[in-house]
Every structure is written in C-alpha cells, then in structure tokens.
C-alpha cells in the first residue's frame, strides 16, 4: 500500500496493521521493524518466520519485493546476491500516515458526516477529560 496511492485498500473487518496490509505483509513488516539494524535481509525474515510456521523462502522474498514496490521497504545495499532492506517508515510513522490517509479520504468524500463525527468525538473527549479532573 503506497500511502499516497488512491487504490490502497482499507479492510474494516481486520485489526491493527491488517486494516492496511495483508496477513503475511503485516507479519513481515513487524519483523522488519523489529530486526532491522539498520537493514534486514530476506534470510533474516525467513529464519524468524519459519520458527513459527512452514513457509517457503521464495514466498518471503516475493512478499518483500512487493512491499518494496508498494513503497514500504527500500533496498539500500547488497550482501553478495542478497538485498538489504530498510523500512521506508518507522511503525508509528506508517500508522500515523495511514490513518491520515483514511481520514483524508473520508473527509473529502463525506465532508458533512465527517464534520459531525469530529464534533461529537471532541465533545466525548472533553467529557472524558472532565471526569479525570
């Protein structure tokens, strides 16, 4: 999902990062964010994934290439024939940008409804803050 891609999908029925990424993409990105120091190879991710599941090296490689094509990973170096990847975004930056993209879509396509929701949400937050005092 390029964060500026109009064809990016948002899956309402999923939780967390899976709202924006497929299951394997999500697992791989979580591992990249965890393991990258500052880079990670397909082998690094494959070795971590196969501890918990049966998965082919080529499946991991193909998914990482696709994540790179989607703008989430960047190839920054090579070790022999192996590409070294870095995340294009830190995890929090990705989530913040993805949420902003979704909100931008909603506010541009449903301006009145979005405005009504934001007013109600701000009132709810204000009440919550009052109770904490």
Predicted TM-score (pTM) of this structure: 0.81
- pLDDT at residue 133, as a whole number: 74
Tokens of 116: 């009504």
Residue 31 has a pLDDT of: 97
pLDDT for res 2: 56
* Residue among 74, 64, 89 at smallest CA distance from 3: 89
User: Which stretches of 6-110 are DSSP H helices?
Assistant: 23-35, 42-49, 57-69, 91-109
Class of the domain covering 16-87: mainly alpha
Q: What is the pLDDT of residue 16?
A: 86
Encoding tokens for residue 69? 């094509």
Residue by residue, pLDDT tens for the chain (133 residues) are: 555 566 667 788 889 889 889 999 999 999 999 999 999 999 999 999 999 999 999 999 999 999 999 999 999 998 898 999 999 999 999 999 888 988 898 899 999 999 999 999 999 999 888 888 7
């Amino acid at each position: 999902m390029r964060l500026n891609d109009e064809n990016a999908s948002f899956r309402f029925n999923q939780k967390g990062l899976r709202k924006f990424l497929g299951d394997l993409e999500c697992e791989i990105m979580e591992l990249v964010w965890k393991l990258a120091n500052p880079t990670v190879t397909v082998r690094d991710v494959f070795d971590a994934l196969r501890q918990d599941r049966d998965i082919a090296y080529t499946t991991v490689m193909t998914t990482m290439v696709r994540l790179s094509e989607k703008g989430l990973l960047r190839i920054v170096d090579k070790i022999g024939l192996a590409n070294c990847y870095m995340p294009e975004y830190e995890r929090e930056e990705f989530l913040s940008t993805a949420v902003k993209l979704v909100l931008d879509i909603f506010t541009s396509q449903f301006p009145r409804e979005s405005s009504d929701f934001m007013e109600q949400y701000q009132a709810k937050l204000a009440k919550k803050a009052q109770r904490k005092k």
